[in-house]
Structures are given as C-alpha cells and as structure tokens.
Structure 1
Amino acid sequence: MPLTNKEKTLIEDNLNAEYLCIRKYEQYSAMASDQKIKQVFTDLASKEHQHAQTLKNMLSSNGENTYNMFESYVKPQGDLSNMQPNLGITDAQLLNDALSTEKHVSGSYNTAVLESVDPQIRKQLQHIQQEEQGHAETLFKEMQSRGWYNPS
C-alpha cells in the first residue's frame, strides 16, 4: 500500500527528529564529564541511528526520496567535557534536555501512529515509540539516581 501524503510527512518529520537526537546525543556524549553519562548518550545515539534507518526504509520501500539534509554532519571528536564550564552546561542539564527531547519525540510518534493508514507502518512506528519511551526512562532513571530529578 503506498504511503498517504500524511504518512509521508509524519515519517519525514520523525526522521528529522531522529537526526536531531543523533546529533544531540553524540555531542552530549563528547561534552559529558561523567563516563557513565557519556556511555548513555553513546548508546542512545546508536539506537536513534537504527530508528532513522527504519524510517528511511519505510520511505524508500514506498518509492520516496530518502535524502535528508540533517543526515550528514561532522561528528564531535574527542572529549569535549572541558567545554562545560565555558558554556555553563552541566551533565544534569544535558540529561534534562535529552529527556525533554525524548518526551517531544514520543509525542510526535504518537501522532504518527494514530494517523497512519497502513497497519504495518503503524506497527513499526509503535515499536519505535515504545523504544523512545524507553530512552526517556533511561534518562529519567539516570537523573533520579543522581538526585537531579525528584518527581515527588
């Protein structure tokens, strides 16, 4: 079944969001001072790469162009944690921003799931949305374990 215009637009929007997440998490991994937080961001960037590939496959299997201007960029090199004081950014702020991003991305996938006609597309988007919610949980737990997020 060919993509509807709405499905195509929603998939492209989510693909843009995935590339934003990849960029953020790779940059945040380089900027974080704590090694465990660096690894959390590296792992999330890898998972977001998988999501981007899934979305690109959805588009290409339906004959759509998969070019995305956000796909390529210069990945940060080395440890940039020494930049934190100059930028006024802490590991807690990096995690908080990432959690806010995941909340937004999960909501975007929710819209895409609810407005998809094709059951297979809907199922793939639901799977990605569940993983995005898992990413948010990972970030939340990392913050909570350090006393940086108290939901009570």
Structure 2
Amino acid sequence: MTLSQKETTLLQDLKSQEQLCIEKYNKYSQMAHDTELKTLFTNLAQNEQKHLDTVTQILGGTEVKMPSESPSATTAKLTCTPSSCNEVEKKNDAYLCKDALAMEKHVSSVYDMTVFEFTSPTLRDTLAHIQKEEQNHGEKLYNYLSCNNMYQ
C-alpha cells in the first residue's frame, strides 16, 4: 500500500496526537485523586495505545482493517459512583477530566477531517472507526463529570 504525501503527513499528525493522549492519560491517572477516575484514565491510555499502534501500522504500509461492528455508545456507559474526595481534590480531578475532554474533542475532529483525505475505503473505515472510539472516550469523560456534578 502506498500513501500519498498528504496521507502520510496526516497520519504523522495523528501519531503525535495519540502519543500525547497516552502521555497525558498516564500522567493524569497518577495525578487524579478519585480511584474511578484513575481507572478511567488508565483504560483510556490503553485504548489510545491501540490507536497509536494502528496508525503506526498504516504508516508502515499495512492496510489495517478494523472490526466490522461499530463501537457502540453502550461501551461508553460509566457505572457512576460519586467521588468521595474532598472539594480541593474534586476540583483538581475536574480540571484533569475537562482537559482530557477537550483533548478528545480535538483528536476526534482531526480524525473526522482526515477520513475525507484518504483514497482507500478500508483506511477510511479504519479511521472512522477510531474516530467513533474517540467520541466514546469523550462520552466516558463527560459521564464522569456529569455524575460528579463537575460539568456546567
């Protein structure tokens, strides 16, 4: 599989975005006070690693095909247990979560734009699949914020 220069540049940007997401989620999982949020950040870092691996494979010339089933919104459901942290800790956790949500919105929009630039239907489907997973990450973060009355 041969990528155009534009496709390669877009994938390199996505690779950088995914690396930043992984770094942030790993850092945020250590900084968060609430156990549920720590777990959420850790799980999201693992998901972002899969995205990074996929983008890296595509950059290496492999036409990666994702599972045919679409990531569903039900996978974004969060069993919400309100945080028992004190107000200062909750404020810190809210900041981390809101920053992560802003990051997911950005990354999702980059994938959304990138999908239209690819000539391979398989790669468009793969990138659209990852973009949907990014939306689900955002939904999980929103659900945590909402459950803890942190989203205004």
TM-score, normalised on structure 1? 0.79
Match of 2:145 in 1: 143
Is residue 128 of structure 2 the alignment partner of residue 126 of structure 1? yes
Once the two structures are TM-superposed, the CA of residue 98 in structure 1 deviates from its matched residue by 0.1
One-letter code aligned to 1:138:
K
Once the two structures are TM-superposed, the CA of residue 61 in structure 1 deviates from its matched residue by 2.0
Identity among equivalent pairs (%): 43
How is 1:46-65 mapped onto 2 (pairs within 5 angstroms)? Answer: 46-61=46-61
Match of 1:108 in 2: 110
How is 1:1-152 mapped onto 2 (pairs within 5 angstroms)? Answer: 1-61=1-61, 90-150=92-152
Q: Deviations over 1:86-138 (max 9, x none)?
A: xxx70000000000000000000011101111111111100100000000000
Match of 2:68 in 1: none
Q: What 5-or-longer segments of structure 1 have no aligned partner?
A: 63-84
Aligned mates of 1:41, 1:58 — CA distance in 2: 26
Residues 18 and 51 of structure 2 are in contact (CA less than 8 Å); yes or no, is this contact kept in structure 1? yes
Runs of 4+ in 1 over 3 A off after TM superposition: none
Aligned mates of 1:145, 1:7 — CA distance in 2: 39
| CA RMSD in angstroms, aligned pairs only | 1.2
One-letter code aligned to 2:57:
N
TM-score, normalised on structure 2? 0.79
Q: What 5-or-longer segments of structure 2 have no aligned partner?
A: 63-87
Residues 2 and 61 of structure 2 are in contact (CA less than 8 Å); yes or no, is this contact kept in structure 1? no
